[in-house]
A and B are shown apart, each in its own frame.
Chain A
Amino acid sequence: MRILLPIAGISVHLWTVVGIGGIIGLLSGLLGIGGGFLLTPILMMIGVPPTIAAASGTNAIVATSSSGVAAHFRLNNVDFKMGAILLLGGLAGSGIGVHLVHILRQLGSADLAISLTYIVMLGLVGGLIIRDSWRKLRSGLVARPKRYEEEKSSVLSRLPLQMEFPHSGVRHSIFLPFVLCLLVGVLTAIMGVAGGFVLMPMMVYMLRMPAHVAVGTSLFQALFTCAGATVMQAGSNHIVDLVLALLVAIGSTIGAQIGARMSRYLRGEQLMILLGFLALGVMFKMVADLVVTPVVPISQIARIDFLKPLQHVAAGLFFFFGR
């Protein structure tokens, strides 16, 4: 059965789009990543114009994330306090990143630098996650976050504005998650993807959050980021196709539920290994894009000002913290 997408103005197979959503949702619920990096190119493959695919994908991720957040909230896997700080840091970082991209493009050869940075980073993150989690699995150690007492000796514990995050079982200075997420925000703005790949390992390895709580909190952050981006894209560019987003959302919300349930039967290390393999898969895809001769050397620009509207929020944050 085919259905017309009102904004894209094209007819697509209903079950194909729902199926695509299902796969994205499964990954989202299981691993805490938004899935935008996969969704946009797949929608483009079925004929959706690039900008509409990107903006409507963002809208679909709102549904996926909200379904995932609800499921993880029920499982007590969402640290709202940490999520709010990560959200603020990410927004500020996005604003800085957009300016940085502008400067890099003016300098020239920015694309090569961005592509290589992305490949090296995905390779490193994926490789290290797999190695570390595999070792833990083989030695039979259960991932356990350090408690407050263990953290006391750390240099980081001497930073100002220490705060307890009982849900995650950690204690950090408010600046640590904020600055880390600010860096992730800068990276996501440069690379043009939402950044679940970077955010998830960062929460587990640097903020020492349990993997399951990291998944729920990452989805909480993605929900707000994507909701803001959807309103901005619909308001300023008129490129959000709600029918497309809802079709993807039908599949992805169900997929997210299945993913969240599946995550209960997997150990934290197993989840991280899956994430690592996914990161390596994306890295190989990027390498192939760079090396393999394209069928047609020109393509319509798929980039949308995903993070540009967030600059206003970032400017507000700078004003707030600068005072």
Chain B
Amino acid sequence: MEVTSIPKCRARAGRRERWAVLALLMAGAFTAGAAPLRIAPGAASLPPAQMPTPRLVPEMIAMGTFYDGAHVRIEGTAPAMSGVVVTIEGTERDEIFDRKGRVGPIWLTVDKIHVQSAPSVFLRFSSAALGSLLDREEVQKYQLDEAAIVCRCRILCHCKCDSMDRMKMSGVDDTVPDSLYAAVLISDFLKLKEHDGRYEEHPGSVHIAAANAGTNYALEFEWPKNIAPGRYRVTVYACRDRRVVAQSATLLHVEEVGFPEYMAKMASAKPWEYGAVAVLVSVLAGFLTDLITSSLRRRRKPETKRA
């Protein structure tokens, strides 16, 4: 069923077709061996030069009680006459998904998918369309698009656990899908991440200007409000002659501060006490509301009687 759905996808939408084809290529790569294909950046014969660390403003995004997103500016200097690609990646993690499939006229959960080592976030900004800056081989080598990112992930099917915790405890081995099914799963996974706004690509968003020492670049964007706290790796690639000539990386810290930090720490350090407090506060909130509304009602009644 999953195999025949690829041509259907192509017929439906060009966007889906693009993913399916790319994903098929990736799937072929990582299902060829038992271990996922990992291409280490900078493993080529001519490693790219280091360039000055990009400047982040702010260096840390503080998530307070009334956090309303943040405006981030990334700037620096790249070698002369080069285009710039900036990637922001979250930490790798394992995730489990339900997959729906058509069974006759209805859609049912037909499989459980386990994705290993997928970055929680992948945002890419560039001074021009990626295809005009770099060859496909370079994009693959430095993992500069979503399809290339999936290359380092491992997608497994027929997962038997409902939660990651139970999976870790039971040590259940999942099944490695065949290349065609893997392509469909990769395509679905990327679509979900795009839909959630966790994987995004913004060509033409990095501004570059020629300077004495090279090329000045600057990127400004709104940090997505739905992205969880953590450490995010910011990497800047300078591109010339369709290859990466220099790169530099730094970390962007996104941290909870004040009351949210206190709550998060309590929930992880004293979970049972936190649960009891949660129930107690909820019950009190319920009773308090009842008390307030009933006293308000009592006040109104004598007034109506007098009238």
Cβ proximity bits B258-293 to A, threshold 8 Å, 1 near / 0 not: 011101100110011011111101110111011101
Q: Which of A246, A253, A291, A304 contacts B106 (CB 8 A)?
A: A291
**In the complex, A227 Cα to B279 Cα: how many Å?**
6
Given contacts A1-B66, A10-B228, A232-B275, contact A237 B165 (CB under 8 A): yes
Chain B residues contacting A246 (CB-CB under 8 Å) are 281-282, 285
Q: Which of A60, A66, A111, A236 has the most CB of B within 10 A?
A: A66
> Cα distance A303–B229 when bound, in Å?
24
**CB-CB under 8 A for A6 and B277, given A300-B97, A301-B96:** no
Chain A interface bracket (under 10, 10 to 19, 20 to 34, 35 or more) = 35 or more
Q: Which of B153-172 contact A (CB under 8 A)?
A: 162-163, 165
B residues 239-274 near A (Cβ < 8 Å) are 256, 259-261, 263-264, 267-268, 271-272, 274
A199-219 toward B: CB 8 Å interface, digit per residue (1/0)? Answer: 000000000000000000000
Whether A298 contacts B226 in the complex (CB less than 8 A), given A290-B106, A305-B163, comes out as: no
| Nearest chain A residue, comparing its CB with the CB of B279 | A227
Quick check: A289 and B286 within 8 Å, CB to CB? no
* CB-CB contacts below 8 Å: B97-115 with A: 97-101, 103, 105-109, 112-113
Q: A296, B188: Cβ atoms under 8 Å? A: yes
Are the C-beta atoms of B268 and A253 separated by less than 8 Å? no
CB distance from B207 to the nearest CB of A (A): 27
- Picked from B225, B277, B289, the residue with its CB within 8 Å of the CB of A257 is B289
Query: Is the CB–CB distance between A6 and B260 below 8 Å?
Result: yes
Do residues A301 and B163 form an inter-chain contact, with CB atoms below 8 A? Answer: yes
Q: Closest A-chain residue to B274, C-beta based?
A: A234
Pick the contact of B66 from A3, A59, A257 — CB < 8 Å? Answer: A3
- Is A323 part of the contact surface with B, judged by Cβ < 8 Å? no
Closest to A294 in B: B100
Question: Which of B34-42, B125-133, B189-197 binds A?
Answer: B189-197
**Contact between chains at B103 and A2 (CB < 8 Å):** no
A11 beta carbon closer than 8 Å to chain B: yes
Chain A residues whose CB sits within 8 angstroms of the CB of B98 once the complex forms:
298-301
Q: Which A residues touch B99, using CB under 8 A?
A: 297-298
Q: Give Cα distance in the complex from A249 to B279, angstroms.
A: 11
- Which of B107, B286, B287 has its CB near the most chain A CB atoms (within 10 A)? B286
**Scoring A residues 217 to 247 as 1 if CB is less than 8 Å from chain B, else 0, what string do you get?**
0000001000100111111111010110110
Choice from A66, A233, A297, A305 contacting B162 with Cβ under 8 Å: A305
Pick the residue among A4, A115, A297, A303 that contacts B188 (CB under 8 A).
Answer: A297
A7 within 8 A of B: yes
Asked if A70 is an interface residue, CB under 8 A from chain B, the answer is yes
Interface residue A47 (Cβ < 8 Å from any Cβ of B): yes
The answer to whether A301 and B162 have CB atoms under 8 Å apart is: yes
Residues of A within 8 Å of B293, CB to CB, are 71, 254, 257
Contact with B along A279-294 (1 / 0, CB 8 A): 0000000000111111
Chain B residue nearest to A289 (CB atoms) is: B107
Q: How many residues of B contact A (CB 8 A)?
A: 63
A141 within 8 A of B: no
Q: Are A111 and B279 in contact (CB under 8 A)?
A: no
Q: Which residues of A contact B279 (CB under 8 A)?
A: 59, 62, 227, 230-231
Residue A295 lies at the interface, judged by CB distance under 8 Å to chain B: yes
Which residues of chain B are within 8 angstroms of A67 by Cβ–Cβ distance?
A: 285-287, 289-290
CB-nearest residue of chain B relative to A258? B293
CB distance from B240 to the nearest CB of A (A): 38
**A63 contacts chain B at the CB level, 8 A cutoff:** yes
Q: Using Cβ atoms and an 8 Å threshold, which residues of chain A touch B175? A: none
Let me know if B67 and A4 touch, CB within 8 A: yes
Indicate whether A64 reaches chain B with its CB closer than 8 angstroms.
Answer: yes
Q: Give every chain A residue within 8 A of B185 (Cβ-Cβ).
A: 298
Query: Per a CB cutoff under 8 Å, which of A1, A7, A64, A291 touches B105?
Result: A291
Indicate whether A65 reaches chain B with its CB closer than 8 angstroms. yes
Q: What residues of A have a CB within 8 angstroms of the CB of B162 in the complex?
A: 301, 303, 305
Tell whether A240 pairs with B275 under 8 Å between CB atoms, given A63-B285, A112-B103, A112-B108: yes
Task: Tell me if A74 is interfacial: C-beta within 8 Å of chain B.
Answer: yes
Question: With A and B bound together, what is the CA distance between A2 and B95 in angstroms?
Answer: 28
Interface digits, B180-206 against A, CB 8 Å rule (1 contact, 0 not)?
A: 000001001101100100000000000
Answer whether residue A9 sits at the interface, using C-beta atoms and an 8 A cutoff.
yes
Asked whether A137 is an interface residue with its Cβ less than 8 Å from the other chain, the reply is: no
Choice from B112, B192, B286 contacting A249 with Cβ under 8 Å: B286
CB distance from A241 to the nearest CB of B (A): 8
| A250 lies within 8 A of chain B by Cβ | yes
Q: Are A59 and B282 in contact (CB under 8 A)?
A: yes
> In the assembly, what is the distance between CA of A198 and CA of B38, in Å?
52
Q: Which of B109, B225, B278 contacts A240 (CB 8 A)?
A: B278
Known A63-B285, A66-B285, A294-B107; further 10 A-B contacts with Cβ < 8 A: A2-B69, A4-B65, A11-B226, A227-B283, A230-B279, A240-B274, A240-B275, A246-B281, A250-B285, A256-B289
A-B pairs, 10 with minimum CB distance? A234-B275, A66-B286, A9-B228, A70-B290, A67-B286, A253-B289, A6-B260, A63-B282, A231-B275, A6-B263
